[in-house]
Amino acid sequence: MTEESESSEQRASAQHEPAPTPEGRHGHAAPLPSIDQDAPHLFALQRDALREWCTERGMQRHNADQILDWVYRKACADPMRMTNLSKRNRDLLAQSMRFTTARPIDHRVASDGTQKLLMAWERGPAEATPTTLPMLNAVPVASGRQTECVMIPADPRRTACISSQLGCPVGCRFCASGIGGLEGNLTAGQIIEQVFHLSALDAVERISHVVFMGMGEPLANLSAVSDAIRTLHAEWGFGISARRITVSTVGLPTAIRRFCDFELPVTLALSLHAPNDEIRRNIIPWADFSTIEELLDACDEWFRRTGREITLEYILLGGVNDRLEHAEELAEHARRIHANVNLIRYNEVRGMPFQRPNSDGVLRFQEILRERGVNTHIRASRGRDIAAACGQLRHEHATASPR
């Protein structure tokens, strides 16, 4: 969930840009040859699989490396512009490989440079993986369904905030993404494709950080998220350091323990959002499945097994979880598991009853945590004038016109 701080001037200066072309920064005007609808999705393929696909079709193994270079280094997903491939190979690719499968249908640029894309997916891919959590009953994404992704600039960083699911099964009472529940899991290819579209935006040379803080609960789509992280990290892919990839979870102890075995040293963030179980159950339906105590035990195991500190994410909701005694409770939890704390001032969502707390209260809340030795940051406010909070843009589209 991206954050804010706005003024009326900022609101006035937010821009609606024409949606970018699906081919990326190097898009072309000529129509492509018609494509086999069962063709593989380029963004779902790891390098070895692409090399195999190429050699099976009479291409050279190194052609796969050239294709990956165009896509991940040059932000070009138009095979007809891959000029170091032969004409025959370009035609073959155009007919037999799906590159971009999402259409950006809304593109907004905030006064602080944050950019948000609303993407409509072409169809539910056959390779969608079922969730390992039984209560979710996820299905592949259906044609035309929408997810969001955001690019947040903070020189020299370019952070991609991406979605892992269509909708969200958790249904936090303050979040627009949870409205309507879970509609489907994104595939690894669909997750990666979001980063591609963000990397192809103007003013983005290269994505340096990725946060799984968009729509969905990443650990409920662990197989696809794990594959996507491998491509984000790979030197033939986006080449992003694992420590610059953050997976944010609302937390199920078994899922966190399973994630301890993941081979790459990514950063884990726990969306705690409440100082005690009573408040947490009121705002996060999944809090019924585990107590804060059980979650902290799983986080403790993460710290012991991986040696990496965890971050506690805490959305401050005015009058709900922002009292000074709540800060004291939160400090106890953070100290117990050696966690940092990120405080996030709530962005109001139309139709939801929660309020944004005032700045003085937030600073006092932070002070209490710091006095107790907890490393605490107030997350910088970004993109509020373009509905950058999780699920907000999709919600605006859904409520503005009948689906």
Binding site for ligand SF4 (CB under 6 A): 168, 170-172, 175, 177-178, 215-217, 250, 390
Tell me how far apart the alpha carbons of residues 253 and 286 are, in angstroms, rounded to a whole number: 12
Tell me how far apart the alpha carbons of residues 393 and 146 are, in angstroms, rounded to a whole number: 10
Smaller CB separation from ligand SF4, 14 or 252: 252
Least Å distance between CB 312 and ligand SF4?
14
* Cα 393 from chain centre: 14
Smaller CB separation from ligand SF4, 40 or 171: 171
Nearest CA among 16, 42, 217 for reference residue 104: 16
Least Å distance between CB 271 and ligand SF4?
6
Positions annotated as catalytic residues are 148, 390
Smaller CB separation from ligand SF4, 22 or 167: 167
CA dihedral 270, 274, 278, 282 (to 10 degrees): -90
- Strands (DSSP E) found in 142-218: 146-154, 157-161, 165-167, 182-185, 209-212
The answer to whether 50 touches 231, Cβ cutoff 8 Å, is: no
Least Å distance between CB 208 and ligand SF4?
23
Burial of residue 304, with CB atoms counted within 10 A of its CB: 0-12 exposed, 13-18 middle, 19 or more buried: exposed
Least Å distance between CB 275 and ligand SF4?
17
Smaller CB separation from ligand SF4, 241 or 282: 282
Least Å distance between CB 389 and ligand SF4?
9
Smaller CB separation from ligand SF4, 170 or 320: 170
The answer to whether 345 touches 356, Cβ cutoff 8 Å, is: yes
